[in-house]
Amino acid sequence: MPDLHDLSPKQAYALLQETPCSILIDIRSSMEFLFVGHPVGASHIAWIDEPDWTENPEFVPETQRLLEARFKECDPRQDATVVLICRSGKRSREAAAALLQAGFQNVMHIDEGFEGERDEHHHRGTLGGWRFHGLPWEQC
């Protein structure tokens, strides 16, 4: 099984701009994706979602279908570069492991996530993350 590659938000952004057959998948819950915000251009497939907060048993098949629809010119499991993002980099590591176990070859995750870790005041967004680094994002 290939190794999981950790990327900083800035490394991930550069890789996505420069790599054909690459995709950013936000794996946070639907509510997080919509109301907290998400990277511009990110696709959404929840790893764990409301209302039950259990792992999505369709995560791997949904990812396969998304890649097949998006990248007709390459083999999704072999050629596509999949970059995952969550809130702080923990769930994306778990979801990436599931994709690697299923045979995907080029799976990476953003180690700081979208919001980063909590600071001493229990606030996110002050120590790291996609937004902290000023990368493009949007909210609904």
Highest mean pLDDT among 52-56, 74-78, 96-100, 120-124: 96-100
Token pair in block for residue 55: 């792992």
**pLDDT digit string, tens, across residues 91-112:** 999 999 999 999 999 999 999 9
Evaluate if residue 63 carries a pLDDT over 80: yes
Q: How far, in Å, are 10, 47, 88, 132 from residue 57 at the CA level?
A: 30, 8, 22, 31
What is residue 92's predicted lDDT score, i.e. its pLDDT?
A: 96
What is residue 1's predicted lDDT score, i.e. its pLDDT?
A: 66
Evaluate if residue 64 carries a pLDDT over 80: yes
- Percentage of the chain modeled with pLDDT above 70: 99
* Interhelix angle 59-70/91-101, nearest 10 degrees: 80
Instruction: Give the CATH fold of the 5-134 domain.
Output: Oxidized Rhodanese; domain 1 (3.40.250)
What is residue 48's predicted lDDT score, i.e. its pLDDT?
A: 94
Sequence ranges of the domains in the chain = 5-134
**CA angle (110, 32, 45) in 5-degree steps:** 65
**CA angle (7, 139, 12) in 5-degree steps:** 10
Q: For residues 116 and 99, give the distance between their C-alpha atoms in angstroms, rounded to a whole number.
A: 23
Evaluate if residue 15 carries a pLDDT over 90: yes
> For all residues of the chain together, what is the average pLDDT?
93
